[in-house]
Structure 1
Amino acid sequence: MNDIPTGTVVCAELAFTSIESAARLQELRQRAMGYGALVSFEGVVRPVTKQGEPLDRLILDHHPRMTVSSLERIAREGAARFDICALSVVHRAGAMAPGEIIVLVAVASDHRRAAFQCADYLMDRLKTEAVFWKREQGPFGERWIEPTQRDTEDRERWNEEKTGH
């Protein structure tokens, strides 16, 4: 793996309460120096399951050290791969209702392309590699959720693409 360029700011955090996107983006703006583009993505709990059933809540169980370590590793690898100034990954754990933010990814870069690519890369990796055990609850009861074949394919495309600086 390449080293993270000197001066690049990388933040990865596990949150147990609501993610305040505006405040997080302002923090990133203050930390990033000389950026010309800021891209952000919010993953939100859907009101229905993939089967079309109403969802009461989504539960993300975690292992404190393993989960934080996986978030930090993914963030560092994104920062090393793309020409960016700063990035922030904030991921929820615990129980969430429909409409709540699960994950916030924000990337600042000199130019838009690197910021968009890095955010896309981070989400593809987070969906398949971040250490969480996901359950959904609703009138149907409770069931576990695994990454889909599409999630895996999205992640694997980064092994083939030449991206970065």
Structure 2
Amino acid sequence: MTIFRPYHHNDADHCLRVFDSNTPRYFGPHERDGFVGFLQEPQRAHDYVVVERDDQIIACGGLASLDEETAGFVWGMVDQGLHRQGVGKALALARIEQAQAMGKRRVTLNTSQHVQAFYAGLGFAVVNVVADGHGPGLDAVEMSLNLPPHR
């Protein structure tokens, strides 16, 4: 059974294992320190979730309120051994639903060219691309999704 639950600070090592499983293809090694700092911030229990299966954290991701109309995906990732099994889609859809419940009209994210097609399949459109923006060989791809009004 797959469970979504709020992040707790004792989950940090597990989330870092998920990060490490995606390095260097999806994250540059230099990004790890930024993720560590992010996980240590007190508000993570309110804006970050982990995904568990069989008592193991297999994914994590957050949603930040950027302004009155916009939310942004932050640090979303799935254990590399579980890619293409629907976990990432479930995590993304849960965050989109959360943004709608918050009354947001748009969701943005910053990813790489390796994940761009995944998010395009969910309706996100490319807004900007910066070659090597996340490091050598990792373009920074900004994407946006306009949301229908929440019912």
Which protein has the larger Cα radius of gyration, Structure 1 or Structure 2? 1
Which structure has the higher relative contact order (CA within 8 Å, separation 6+)? Answer: 1
Specify if TM > 0.5: no
TM-score range, shorter chain: 0.3 to 0.5
More strand by share: 2
- TM-score, scaled to structure 1: 0.30
- TM-score, scaled to structure 2: 0.32
